[in-house]
A and B are shown apart, each in its own frame.
Chain A
């Protein structure tokens, strides 16, 4: 595994491909495989309409991931801001001309595919922040004014996403940014300050929330109060989960999901369906695989010797973790329903692609782990 380190010259594509952490890719394939099996079940035992398209998307995602992985990490660093502002521009475009879907403006129609810029923003924000903090000294970070720019970098997309309105993504973006700030060495008390400020702003935010969002938070607090109304999703999800028991009702025989009691079983609530059909055993197994992927992320971060790569790896691993945690906690009634997909398992094009690109960056950091990166991404070996 030290081959890359020994070889100081620029790597060829072949060498880079050799360097790609294929065992991590294997686990990603396993996760997607589980997802497709569940989508097959959600389609009443059919590859249509979901499973087949998910496989195709994974194929595209896999290709993009490798492309990202073998591209020089320094050029990614150089173009980090460009990419960030490009996606920010897309977010604004959604605001202006986005199509209405599911009562919220999230998609932008590019003709061929419908793009969800907020999903891509999760990756580009990590890139931009990693670039910003790359090479920053601890004194820099200690200066409150120094943090103004990264805070703006976070605030701009968060506000745009909130306006869509997409509370789940806004929370994801904020938390991911928090992880990077933390890793960059921002003091804990400053987090306290920000959290305090957020708490203080809560009443104001409450008035800005959409009716359905308020309702979701309220029903999260007491789902049984209105089983036929807004608490329906959570209640049905818990029923499906609970009735699965230890070993589940068996593949393709989850009554709650197949009789459509379970809402959006192919996207946000796919974990419920899995836990209904395979029980707690199946749920824990999936959780275990996610844990392995996360461990890979940490392990890679430990071995990457440049700040940019490490921040990217941990930032994206963090995003991945939040996806998993929020989604599963949500379907089990631990947090409000905010609309976060289960990574690689839930049906959804943009989420799949942005995740694969995200892992592409992790692999990229791994492939280029021993390359020194200059202050502005320009430097090679100097």
Chain B
């Protein structure tokens, strides 16, 4: 009887529990049941393409077959991986990465084993599917860069989202949580990431406990990323890369002097953007980061160089504005100047003799600029430099841009705690010493000289959203705060650099009528020339080790009469600006004028009057 009573009591307990679960808490469990049944799956949108200004694709998407492993669907992950490894070779590196990721993620999250599988591998896996529990072939899209490493600096690359990226991202985009999703990590890919990324769609799926999809309940398509059109003209960009390719390390920037649109932005050496997409091996990464030529750095915006003689326009304008010298006033160059007990040399050992402003720019006489920089002082020079865009970031739509430096006496006091020395003004007067600029800044400076406007560079020409092209508004820049005569004097000086027989870049002039350019050479000294060397013989660039050779620079605008484009070329340790940088700039500029990507000639042909009217 005790037994019977006990059993009745226990059965009542069961009935009570049934009442609790099925009546009292029923609604809660019903909700949980629906959640169980319905799983939301994000549909990653196709990433927008990157096009050049004429619509030529620079970055596109291609189908990518990858093999993923779902840990919860296999009893023995290692065994499955081993079996898979016999079909498609899996490196130790991949093997360890997969095991690591499986440990880190939850069981039902697919982990990518290999990507970019060819058909042979795909079919080999599919045929052996019964022996490969948890192994699934997945079709995704991966980024393709038709130009490869040539466009790496400009476009950047995409790669998996890191924890850091997630923290930094303020959009709280659920896409970032999607395994295998890739975002832009540098270049335009990074800067325009939100535009290119698009919006995730989602699909409500009825799934079973194994995560297997029973059917789709509803589907909301995402919004594909917008195509981004760059101001870049691929023809000119390619030419720029071609011209720089045989240089160890160099950069070039071509700009529209009126709109600030960047026509070409090249930096060598490049790197393979696909390598980042698929994942680098440790060795590849070491090789890239330890390479002294810094292939990861976009030297056009992040490379800092002493501008050398290309800085002389700034010094001249500062001096003219301050009235410390008249354009026709002459200075005698005897090859050096003395200041205290220091001697400052002109590049021409025996001197230029008497030179006015035009002659000094034309022949790039250092003595003349020692003299006028001493008269005007460093702070006025720096102020002029900043007006022309130096010493600060230009604000171009690229990451990691550096601002360079135009020193002032206050800066030195604050930064180094030492007072400014007069000799340092002289050194700065020829663009050496503390002065540091990026090639892009030099192109912006030249554009401002040529247009007289506060030109700011940009890369985005337009956006194609949902098949509709929306061009960016052409920015109109305010006039630069500088007397037109002063600017004209400097432009005339640059004209004679290229187009008068004694000019330092005469041999690199454009001969085609109407296409003539006006430029300025620069040769930035990297290593101090010792007294001993001066006394015996200054070694020629070719005789010195590469790292000790001078940087070769050239800036120019063209056409002389009605400037449309500006260019800056820097060849690291290339030697002399006139011999190395100027011919490159000439070739690129000539092609730019011929192609006329901004369509000036066409517009002037049709609406020349209107153009004139705007300028007036």
Shortest beta-carbon distance, A15 to chain B, in Å?
Answer: 31
Shortest beta-carbon distance, A169 to chain B, in Å?
Answer: 19
Instruction: Type the 1/0 row for B1-24, where 1 means its CB is closer than 8 Å to any CB of A.
Output: 001100100110111011101110
Contact A242/B29 with A280-B22, A325-B10 known, Cβ cut-off 8 Å: yes
Instruction: Point out the residues of chain A lying under 8 angstroms from B207, CB to CB.
Output: 259
Instruction: Point out the residues of chain A lying under 8 angstroms from B33, CB to CB.
Output: 239-240, 242-243, 255-256
A287 interface residue (CB < 8 Å to B): yes
Shortest beta-carbon distance, A99 to chain B, in Å?
Answer: 17
Instruction: Point out the residues of chain B lying under 8 angstroms from A231, CB to CB.
Output: none
Instruction: Point out the residues of chain B lying under 8 angstroms from A245, CB to CB.
Output: 22-23, 26, 30
Question: Are A287 and B11 in touch, CB under 8 angstroms?
Answer: yes
B543 interface residue (CB < 8 Å to A): no
Instruction: Type the 1/0 row for A209-245, where 1 means its CB is closer than 8 Å to any CB of B.
Output: 0000000000000000000100000001011111111
Q: Which of B3, B13, B32, B209 contacts A318 (CB 8 A)?
A: B3
A338 interface residue (CB < 8 Å to B): no
Q: State A260–B37 Cα separation when bound (angstroms).
A: 10
Contact A241/B3 with A259-B209, A260-B208, A325-B11 known, Cβ cut-off 8 Å: no
Q: Which residue of the partner chain B has the closest CB to A237? A: B21
Shortest beta-carbon distance, B314 to chain A, in Å?
Answer: 66
Instruction: Type the 1/0 row for A283-299, where 1 means its CB is closer than 8 Å to any CB of B.
Output: 11001001100100010
Question: Are A243 and B26 in touch, CB under 8 angstroms?
Answer: yes
B366 interface residue (CB < 8 Å to A): no
State the majority secondary structure of interface residues on A.
helix
Q: Which of A228, A255, A275, A318 contacts B18 (CB 8 A)?
A: A275
Question: Are A182 and B3 in touch, CB under 8 angstroms?
Answer: yes
A37 interface residue (CB < 8 Å to B): no
A186 interface residue (CB < 8 Å to B): no
A314 interface residue (CB < 8 Å to B): yes
Shortest beta-carbon distance, B11 to chain A, in Å?
Answer: 6
Question: Are B29 and A241 in touch, CB under 8 angstroms?
Answer: yes
Question: Are A332 and B25 in touch, CB under 8 angstroms?
Answer: no
Contact A255/B107 with A242-B26, A283-B18 known, Cβ cut-off 8 Å: no
Question: Are B36 and A244 in touch, CB under 8 angstroms?
Answer: no
Instruction: Point out the residues of chain B lying under 8 angstroms from A242, CB to CB.
Output: 21-22, 25-26, 28-30, 32-33
Contact A243/B4 with A259-B37, A287-B14 known, Cβ cut-off 8 Å: no
Question: Are A238 and B7 in touch, CB under 8 angstroms?
Answer: no
Instruction: Point out the residues of chain A lying under 8 angstroms from B23, CB to CB.
Output: 245-246, 280
A297-351 contacts to B, CB under 8 A, are 298, 314, 318, 321, 325, 328-329, 332, 334
Question: Are B32 and A239 in touch, CB under 8 angstroms?
Answer: yes
Q: State A179–B209 Cα separation when bound (angstroms).
A: 40
A261 interface residue (CB < 8 Å to B): yes
Q: Which of B21, B106, B210 contacts A238 (CB 8 A)?
A: B21
B129 interface residue (CB < 8 Å to A): no
Instruction: Type the 1/0 row for B199-213, where 1 means its CB is closer than 8 Å to any CB of A.
Output: 000000011111010
Shortest beta-carbon distance, A1 to chain B, in Å?
Answer: 22
Shortest beta-carbon distance, B13 to chain A, in Å?
Answer: 7
Instruction: Point out the residues of chain A lying under 8 angstroms from B25, CB to CB.
Output: 242
Question: Are A259 and B214 in touch, CB under 8 angstroms?
Answer: yes
Shortest beta-carbon distance, A289 to chain B, in Å?
Answer: 12
A279 interface residue (CB < 8 Å to B): yes
Q: Which residue of the partner chain A has the closest CB to B72? A: A228
Question: Are B15 and A287 in touch, CB under 8 angstroms?
Answer: yes
Q: State A334–B13 Cα separation when bound (angstroms).
A: 10
Shortest beta-carbon distance, B167 to chain A, in Å?
Answer: 25
Q: State A363–B469 Cα separation when bound (angstroms).
A: 88
Shortest beta-carbon distance, B315 to chain A, in Å?
Answer: 70
Instruction: Point out the residues of chain B lying under 8 angstroms from A263, CB to CB.
Output: 209
Instruction: Point out the residues of chain A lying under 8 angstroms from B19, CB to CB.
Output: 280
Instruction: Point out the residues of chain A lying under 8 angstroms from B206, CB to CB.
Output: 259
Q: Which residue of the partner chain A has the closest CB to B7? A: A321
Question: Are B208 and A239 in touch, CB under 8 angstroms?
Answer: no
Q: State A228–B72 Cα separation when bound (angstroms).
A: 11
Instruction: Point out the residues of chain A lying under 8 angstroms from B26, CB to CB.
Output: 242-246
Instruction: Point out the residues of chain B lying under 8 angstroms from A279, CB to CB.
Output: 22
Instruction: Point out the residues of chain A lying under 8 angstroms from B37, CB to CB.
Output: 255-256, 259, 261
Question: Are B32 and A329 in touch, CB under 8 angstroms?
Answer: no
Question: Are A332 and B3 in touch, CB under 8 angstroms?
Answer: no
Q: Which residue of the partner chain A has the closest CB to B107? A: A228
Q: State A275–B23 Cα separation when bound (angstroms).
A: 12
Q: State A255–B11 Cα separation when bound (angstroms).
A: 27
Instruction: Point out the residues of chain B lying under 8 angstroms from A291, CB to CB.
Output: 11
Instruction: Point out the residues of chain B lying under 8 angstroms from A262, CB to CB.
Output: 209
Shortest beta-carbon distance, A238 to chain B, in Å?
Answer: 6
Instruction: Point out the residues of chain A lying under 8 angstroms from B10, CB to CB.
Output: 321, 325
Q: State A246–B33 Cα separation when bound (angstroms).
A: 16
Q: State A121–B66 Cα separation when bound (angstroms).
A: 53
Q: Which of A243, A259, A290, A329 contacts B30 (CB 8 A)?
A: A243
Question: Are A329 and B17 in touch, CB under 8 angstroms?
Answer: yes
Q: Which of A241, A261, A287 contacts B21 (CB 8 A)?
A: A241
Question: Are A328 and B14 in touch, CB under 8 angstroms?
Answer: yes
Question: Are A243 and B18 in touch, CB under 8 angstroms?
Answer: no
Q: State A305–B21 Cα separation when bound (angstroms).
A: 43
Question: Are A261 and B30 in touch, CB under 8 angstroms?
Answer: no
Question: Are A246 and B11 in touch, CB under 8 angstroms?
Answer: no
Q: State A212–B242 Cα separation when bound (angstroms).
A: 66
Question: Are A280 and B7 in touch, CB under 8 angstroms?
Answer: no
Instruction: Point out the residues of chain A lying under 8 angstroms from B22, CB to CB.
Output: 241-242, 244-246, 275, 279-280, 283
Shortest beta-carbon distance, A98 to chain B, in Å?
Answer: 20
Q: State A241–B17 Cα separation when bound (angstroms).
A: 11
Q: State A290–B32 Cα separation when bound (angstroms).
A: 30
Contact A325/B14 with A228-B107, A318-B3 known, Cβ cut-off 8 Å: yes
Instruction: Point out the residues of chain B lying under 8 angstroms from A283, CB to CB.
Output: 18, 22
Shortest beta-carbon distance, A285 to chain B, in Å?
Answer: 11
Q: State A27–B4 Cα separation when bound (angstroms).
A: 19
Q: State A241–B214 Cα separation when bound (angstroms).
A: 22
Q: State A275–B17 Cα separation when bound (angstroms).
A: 12
Contact A284/B4 with A242-B21, A244-B22, A255-B33 known, Cβ cut-off 8 Å: no
Q: Which residue of the partner chain B has the closest CB to A284? A: B15
B90-108 contacts to A, CB under 8 A, are 106-108
Q: Which residue of the partner chain B has the closest CB to A259? A: B208
Question: Are A238 and B18 in touch, CB under 8 angstroms?
Answer: no
Shortest beta-carbon distance, B304 to chain A, in Å?
Answer: 52
Closest 9 CB pairs of A and B: A242-B29, A243-B33, A260-B208, A259-B208, A261-B209, A280-B22, A243-B30, A260-B209, A245-B26
Cβ contacts A to B, 9 pairs, < 8 Å: A179-B3, A238-B29, A242-B32, A243-B29, A245-B23, A256-B36, A256-B37, A259-B37, A298-B3
- A sample of 16 more A-B contacts (CB under 8 A), given A242-B28, A279-B22, is A228-B106, A241-B22, A242-B25, A242-B29, A242-B33, A243-B30, A244-B22, A245-B26, A246-B26, A260-B209, A261-B37, A261-B209, A263-B209, A287-B11, A325-B10, A334-B14
User: Could you list which residues of chain A lie within 8 angstroms of chain B, going by C-beta atoms?
Assistant: 179, 182-183, 228, 236, 238-246, 255-256, 259-263, 275, 279-280, 283-284, 287, 290-291, 294, 298, 314, 318, 321, 325, 328-329, 332, 334
